Structure 1
Amino acid sequence: MRAFKVFFSIAFFSVCFTSGQAQHAKNQPEKNISPTEKKILDQGLVNIQTVNPDILIELKYATADNFMKRNVYGDLTHAYLQPEMAKKLSQASVILQRTKPGFKLLVYDAARPNSVQYKLWDALDDLKIPVRQKTQYVADPKIGSNHNFGCAIDLTVVDEKGQPLDMGTKYDFFGPLAYPRSEQEMLKQGKLTSKQIANRNILRKAMTQAGFTVNTTEWWHFDGMSKKQARARYGIIK
């Protein structure tokens, strides 16, 4: 009986210790975070992957694979959203995997500091985008984008092999080819295929069923609430 008690005590301690390690591992993304990310967390936002680790992250503005061809995020390497937005995104992931087993969401951009918004805005001048068209592609930083409140998400879908679906354009493409509102016209002109539009609809279906709204000029962009609501509820991310 004494040997059994000793064995039980050791086993119980082992289970508790293992459980503690698992909990620590779950919270690991929040450890040793950068100063920028700490500020974002201090404002109440959450790391998307701590809400749903099945969601993949590839922040385009933390790489040179964007319209500016340079990293403008610096020490921001994780994707953050307001808690209710992250919950909606997690729901979208569940919906996607239920309808398309093996497919996953791949996030290109989420919460964005307003300081970066100014860099994106100024970069349009280098591309010779007319002033009257600038807000069609990048929100005026003086007003703020829904990204600046942690209430917008840019993303795509990857298949079972981890390959992004063909959406007809790359992320950050400027022009009607990326516009959801112009898809049927682009299809008639032979610039988009039925398969590419069907791929976009896979993403849209999951996102809209989770409560996001479609952006009419960017197939990759979805809003969790209006900018007016976001501004009233949350402070802008500096």
Structure 2
Amino acid sequence: MIGKNFVKLITIVLIIHWGCSNKVSSEKFDSDSELEDVDFDSREENQPLAEVEEIGDLEQSLIEAGLVDVAKVIEGVFVDLKYSTTDNFFGIDVYGDLERCYLQPVVAEMLHKAHAHLQSKYSELTFLIYDGVRPLSVQQILWDNLQKPDSIKPLYVADPKIGGLHNYAVAVDLTLADKNTGLPLDLGTEYDYFGYPAYPDREDQMLREGKITKDHIANRKILREAMAAGGFTGIGSEWWHFNAFSRKAAAEKFDLIK
């Protein structure tokens, strides 16, 4: 027969074993509970790789030419490149996947100053940019697709053999927009409208003839005042077009963007 002392010994061993096992299980449970509180997704090694933004050949060439993305210089502006759509005078998309407005760095800073002036007087407004740099390769496409005699084509688009201020990246086309919605204000005509109602030089006449209103002229004056504060000058035939430099100064300071 097994002695009573032996039975007691076995019983003690079993009790100790059970206690240790229970402690280990309890510790494991507590450890697992703590692990559940750890956000493993926040660990650097588990972070998803940032999506690499694809840049098209045209945009890459603008970057390599030293131009800057205006939206990265000026906070709160809107960009709707009309020549990256068919909503333009020519009815063709010539920019393809380019959707950002690029300008010479100094011109972008001038536009930043103009925007600051606008915001200081009309905090509810911002700029909506329609066009900036226009490479000569694109200018050639527009020239070739314009169904007009060569003698009058310069009235609509600069001759690519000579180049215009858009080709130097020192001209910008833009309007005023609601800062919250991005919707453009009514300045009397659509962008790229070729006719007297779009001419700043003809505003008094167009007002008398009922082609535009006093509100249209008032909005245009707000835009012109802001752009002038940045050092830009307008032209007589397009309320949306502003130049940072003369053609002579542009040619001395910059290369044509090809």
Q: CA deviation at 1:57?
A: 0.6
> Does residue 117 in structure 1 map to residue 136 in structure 2?
no
Unaligned runs of 5+ in 1: 1-16, 18-24
Q: Distance in 2 between matches of 1:111 and 1:31?
A: 21
Q: Are residues 1:197 and 2:233 paired?
A: no
- SS in structure 1 at match of 2:152: helix
1:148 alignment partner, SS class: coil
Q: Is 2:178 aligned against 1:159?
A: yes
Name structure 2 gaps, 5 residues minimum. 1-43, 45-49
> What's 2:121 paired with?
99
- Distance in 1 between residues matched to 2:97 and 2:116, nearest whole Å: 30
Residues in 2 aligned to 1:190 and 1:211: alpha-carbon distance in whole angstroms: 32
Q: Which amino acid aligns with 1:181?
A: D
Q: In the aligned structure 2, how far is the partner of 1:97 from the partner of 1:169?
A: 24
Q: What is the percent sequence identity of the aligned residues?
A: 47
Q: For the residues of structure 2 that align with 1:64 and 1:122, how far apart are their CA atoms? A: 16
For 1:43-122, list aligned pairs within 5 A.
43-122=65-144
Equivalent residue for 2:231, pick from 211, 235, 238: 211
Q: How many angstroms apart in 1 are the aligned matches of 2:196 and 2:157?
A: 15
Alpha-carbon distance in structure 1 between the residues aligned to 2:241 and 2:70 = 16
Cα deviation, residue 75, structure 1: 2.7
Query: Using the alignment, how far apart are the partners of 2:149 and 2:198 within structure 1?
Result: 18
Larger Cα Rg: Structure 1 or Structure 2? 2
1:184 matched residue in structure 2? 204
Equivalent position of 1:35 in the other structure = 57
Write the distance in 1 (CA, Å) between the matches of 2:182 and 2:59.
27
State how far apart, in whole Å, the 1-side matches of 2:144 and 2:161 are: 12
1:135 is matched by which residue type in structure 2?
P
SS at match of 2:176: strand
* Alpha-carbon displacement from aligned partner over 1:135-188 (angstroms, at most 9, x marks no partner): 122111111110111100000011244321111110010111111101111111
Q: Which position in structure 2 is the counterpart of 1:135?
A: 154
Number of aligned residue pairs: 209
Q: Secondary structure at the match of 1:132?
A: coil
Spell out structure 1 runs of 4+ moving beyond 4 A.
none
Aligned with 1:153: secondary structure? strand
Render the CA deviation track for 1:24-77: whole Å, top value 9, x for unaligned: x9xx9x953222111111111111011112111100000111112221101322
Cross-structure match for 1:22: none
C-alpha distance in 1 between matches for 2:54 and 2:252: 31
Partner in structure 1 of residue 242 of structure 2: 222
TM-score after normalising by structure 2: 0.77
The amino acid that maps onto 1:137 is: Y
Q: Distance in 2 between matches of 1:165 and 1:71?
A: 24
SS at match of 1:187: helix
- Code of the residue aligned with 1:62 in structure 2: it is S
**Residue 215 (structure 1) shift:** 1.1
Cα drift, residue 210 of structure 1: 0.8
RMSD: 1.8
Secondary structure in structure 2 of the residue aligned to 1:66: coil
Letter in 2 for 1:215: I
